[in-house]
Structure 1
Amino acid sequence: MHEARLYQKLEEKTVHCSLCAHRCTIREGRQGVCGVRINRGGTLYAATFGKIIAEAVDPIEKKPLFHFLPGTLSYSLGTIGCNFHCEHCQNWHISQQTLEMRSLRDLPPEEGVARALESGSASIAWTYNEPTIWHEYPLAMGTLARERGLGTVYVTNGYITEEGLREIASMLNAFRVDIKSFSETFYRKVCGAKLQPILDATALAKELGLHVETVTLVIPGQNDSMDEMESLIRWVLDNLGPDTPMHFTRFHPDYRMRDARPTEIRALEKIYERARDLGVHYPYLGNVGSHPYENTYCPACGSPVIERSGYAIRMRGLDDHTCTECGGRIEYVSQID
């Protein structure tokens, strides 16, 4: 197996992992919270390096990323394991799997880059499960990808340490982060984690020059109060800026939260409208299907500039980054430097 990065050897063959915010101390023969970083004989190994379980060519809008290379394809990879244990996980069948799962298959970093190029994709996305715990693999593949002109995307829960983020930022373009709630209680009870490390990492991603978009799955009775949503929105405005796209998505019952009801669309619309009132230039709704609040509107004059139907988009009233109606600037990443 591949030796891990970002860990320290302690006494009695114990190691301390500093990749994610759990900062696990792992005894010999054990694994971290993620289930895929394993201590064998006092050395920490990244057990899923080069091993995938999911591979697809997706529209970048599916991530969802609406302001990063819009209208392009993203070669998308996932493996098993997660450093969260969310009760509502929609990919639980892979995120909560163990290393004994027989459907894992090998994909060396250089072959992944070759497949991405062959597919006509403009980027590679590490997604479906948490990419942070796969750190060494995206780092190797992403470095090769950037040399070939591909964009790179993390679809992440944001539970990465400063050390981990600074290292991966050397090859990363986009940080699409779930901010699942603005409540420490929610994170502790529902996810087995803490909120503050996610806020710290997201602010650092912005500081490091990554493209950041946030996603919040709005769950009735769990994280949907307007007070909580306003706190989240104000945090984004203060720490990431008004041009940060914010996605508010509809919940559908899954995994261990099947008794909860789906989010009412009008509740999502109110959150969207409040976000605009507070100054967010690019709020969006998700999982609602061909809703006008999936479109991009010029923040200066309100004219539609990108229309979306499912994952299909149509540029309208947009000349490069300029609204043709009023001349206002529309912020999005159109190419990789």
Structure 2
Amino acid sequence: MSGSTVCTVCPRRCRLAPGALGACRARRNEGGRVVADGYGRATSLALDPIGKKPLARFMPGTLVVSVGGYGCNLSCPFCQNAEISQAGARDVSWRAVSPDELVAIALDARSRDPRVSGIAYTYNEPLVAWEYVRDCARLAHDAGLVNVLVSNGCVGDAVLDGLEGLVDAANIDLKGFTDGFYDACGAGPGALERVKAVIERLAADPGCHLEVTTLVVPGMNDADDEIDAAARWLAALDGGCGRDTIAYHVTRFFPRWRLTDRGPTPVETVYRLADVARRHLAHVFTGNC
């Protein structure tokens, strides 16, 4: 197709006609170049405890200014933020927040509460507009603020190259540990291996604190064997030091969006799977219990 181009941000590799948006609803072919349509378009802005990201072992007790936009390159049927992650610019209310303005908001928050440590890029999938994360993160570092990334990790190496040295802490969603689970989340081919590659790269980065989360969905990824395999793989990262450095969150599902045909994950299931993960990892946490 004349004028079409391929977006290489994630494994979906959407081929975009002129003016078209990708499956994430946040990247567009503009004049033959893929740009972040969602750049600086904030749908959500809040002051959160850092533990809500969740980060259990990075700057505990501090607060972060959390910012979210719209769009996501996955379509998990259980999405907790579907109203923004599965939306485009015409579907939600947003306001323009430049990188300078976002950093100023964070600095103002810190002037009123010294517990404010930085900015978290979260709520939807922030890396569908990764250029905004990059530009904000540079200014945040200049201002003495830390940068926290909450992501599904389903992105290419070029995105991580662009964020090199800018992310101080990350929580990556490891949705499941099978290709079938990622297929159910609408991911492109090879998504699990891509997420694993991102986790592996961040685990090896001495400048980035890494934590990983799995939302346990009944009947989909709640088998002992699957959590055991994921935890064993995490523990083996970076020459085996993952056991002592990577925190793993095993989190309870609640019915949302398109997955309302089952109840919440039984609390005892979450605790059991956390114990399974502790066979391999020293820092395992339960969430939503």
Partner of 2:276: 274
Opposite residue 101 of structure 1, the aligned amino acid is: D
Aligned partner of residue 256 in structure 1, secondary structure: coil
Q: How does 1:143-182 map to 2 (within 5 A)?
A: 143-182=138-177
What do the CA deviations read for 1:92-141 (whole angstroms, capped 9, x no partner)? 00111122135110111011001111112201001000011011111101
Partner of 1:116: 106
Q: Say whether the 8 Å CA contact 1:13–1:43 is kept in structure 2.
A: no
Q: Say whether the 8 Å CA contact 2:11–2:187 is kept in structure 1.
A: no
Match of 2:57 among 45, 67, 74: 67
Are residue 283 (structure 1) and residue 273 (structure 2) matched?
Answer: no
Partner of 1:195: 192
CA displacement at 1:169 relative to structure 2: 2.4
Larger radius of gyration: 1
Partner of 1:142: 137
Aligned-partner Cα distance in 2 for 1:174–1:15? 33
Q: Percent identity?
A: 36
**Higher-RCO chain (CA-CA 8 Å, sequence separation at least 6):** 2
Question: By percentage of residues, which structure has more helix?
Answer: 2
Query: How many residues are treated as equivalent by the alignment?
Result: 277
Q: Say whether the 8 Å CA contact 1:51–1:104 is kept in structure 2.
A: yes
Aligned partner of residue 180 in structure 2, secondary structure: helix
Aligned-partner Cα distance in 1 for 2:13–2:277? 34
Partner of 2:76: 86
Aligned-partner Cα distance in 1 for 2:266–2:184? 23
Q: Say whether the 8 Å CA contact 1:126–1:153 is kept in structure 2.
A: yes
Opposite residue 118 of structure 2, the aligned amino acid is: S
Aligned partner of residue 283 in structure 1, secondary structure: strand
After TM superposition, the score normalised by the length of structure 2 is: 0.92
What do the CA deviations read for 1:274-325 (whole angstroms, capped 9, x no partner)? 222x23111000001xxxxxxxxxxxxxxxxxxxxxxxxxxxxxxxxxxxxx
Opposite residue 31 of structure 2, the aligned amino acid is: G
Opposite residue 141 of structure 1, the aligned amino acid is: C
Q: Say whether the 8 Å CA contact 2:12–2:187 is kept in structure 1.
A: no
Aligned partner of residue 268 in structure 2, secondary structure: helix
Q: Say whether the 8 Å CA contact 2:45–2:67 is kept in structure 1.
A: yes
CA displacement at 1:192 relative to structure 2: 3.0
After TM superposition, the score normalised by the length of structure 1 is: 0.79
Q: What is the root-mean-square deviation in Å for CA atoms of aligned residues?
A: 1.4
5+ residue gaps, structure 2, are 111-115
